[in-house]
Amino acid sequence: MAVTMYAISVPVFVRQLKGLSIVLRMALALYAEKKHDETTLLSYRFYPDMFSFTRQIQAATNHAVTCTALLAGVDAPKFEDNEKSLADLLARIDKAQDFLAGIKPAQIDGTEEKSVIVKMRDREMPFKGIDLLQNRSMPNFYFHCTTAYDILRHNGLEIGKRHFLGNE
């Protein structure tokens, strides 16, 4: 089987977001059972200059959706970045997954050399499709997913690699 841009992007994003959804549902159940305050988890960060748990989920979904939209040449769904609960974060992941489910391989395949622009707050960054995927979006996506997972584990959620990989 040939490796395609679609094969190394959308299904990977989908699988990993499924894993995040699984562990967030577990956290929601645990926090309800133990009557823990969700806001302590949502605002948790490992170090003062790191993103909070909420921002980790936001960043992960943003990288998956933005990369896919740029490669496919479609508009990305808008996120308000105003999630205040685990349920809100789950809804955000669901919205990202719904968007990804609507992308067809033909929209992504062959975009290795496509010129795309990532718009940041104060600048624009040009990429070729393959560089966007391999050198920006995928590493950032995995970083934020991993950090969110680690925050959950650190805060008492009994999860393992199978959850991270979306196999549970």
Per-residue model confidence as pLDDT tens digits over 27-82: 999 999 999 999 999 999 999 999 999 999 999 999 999 999 999 999 999 999 99
Tokens of 87: 């349920």
pLDDT at position 85 over 90 = yes
Query: What does the domain layout of the chain look like in residue ranges?
Result: 10-164
What CATH superfamily classification does 10-164 receive?
A: dinb family like domain (1.20.120.450)
Position 91 pLDDT exceeds 90? yes
How many residues make up the chain in this entry? 168
Tell me the per-residue pLDDT of 103-162, one tens digit each, with 9 for 90 and over: 999 999 999 999 999 998 899 999 999 999 999 999 999 999 999 999 999 999 999 988
> Tokens 């508009």 map to which residue?
75
Are 146 and 154 a contacting pair, CB within 8 Å?
no
- At 83, list the tokens: 């999630």
Contact indicator for 11, 161 with CB cutoff of 8 Å? no
Residues linked to residue 128 through DSSP beta bridges, in sequence order: 115
Q: Is the pLDDT of residue 168 over 80?
A: no
Q: What stretch of H or E contains 40?
A: helix 38-42
In angstroms, rounded to a whole number, what is the distance separating the alpha carbons of residues 52 and 40? 10
Angle at 66 between CA 162 and CA 168, to 5 degrees: 15
Q: What is the pLDDT of residue 83?
A: 98
Q: How many CA atoms lie within 13 A of 42 on its CB side?
A: 17
Give me the helices (H) in 79-159, please.
86-101, 105-108, 129-131, 138-154
